[in-house]
Amino acid sequence: MTQQPYPQQARGDDRTIAILAHLSPIIAMIVSIGFVSIAGPLLVWLIWRDRGPLVRNAAASSFNFHLTVWVAMVVGWIMVFTVILLPLGLFLIFIPGLIQLIFSIIGAVRASRGEVYSYPFQIRILH
C-alpha cells in the first residue's frame, strides 16, 4: 500500500472519477450481492483510462483487487455446497467481502487527496 501524490496536481474531475472507481464495487455489492462488483472499475478504466495517471491507476488497481476478491467469493460459494468445506467457504465469502469494503473506502479517501492507492492481494490484469 504505497501512497504517492502525483507531481502535477490532479484535477477535481480526475479525483471524482478515481473515487468512483474505488467505490463502484461497494455500490455493486449492495445492488447485486457482489456478483458484478468488477464491472464498475472496468467501465471506468475502459472509458477514462486516458484521462490521467490517477484515474488509470485507481480503475486498474480497483479492478484487479476486486477481481481477486470475486474469485475468492466464487470459490467460497462452491465450498458452501459441500458439507466438509462449509466453514472455509463461509470464511471465503464474508472475510473478503469485509476486506473489500474497508480497502475500497481507504482507496476512495486516498483518491480524494490525489494520492495513488495500490490494493494488497491483487491479481494484476489491468495496468
pLDDT of 7 reads 45
Is residue 58 within 8 A of residue 18, CB to CB? The reply is yes
* C-alpha to C-alpha distance for 11 and 31, rounded to whole angstroms: 30
DSSP 115: E
Which of 95, 114, 103, 113 has its CA nearest to residue 41? Answer: 103
SS (H, E, C) 50-75: CCCHHHHHHHHHHHHHHHHHHHHHHH
The alpha carbon of residue 20 and the mean position of all alpha carbons in its chain are separated, in whole angstroms, by 10
Residue by residue, pLDDT tens for the chain (127 residues) are 445 555 455 677 899 999 999 999 888 878 876 668 888 899 999 999 898 899 999 999 999 999 998 888 889 989 888 878 888 988 888 998 899 899 999 999 999 999 989 888 788 888 7
pLDDT of 10 reads 62
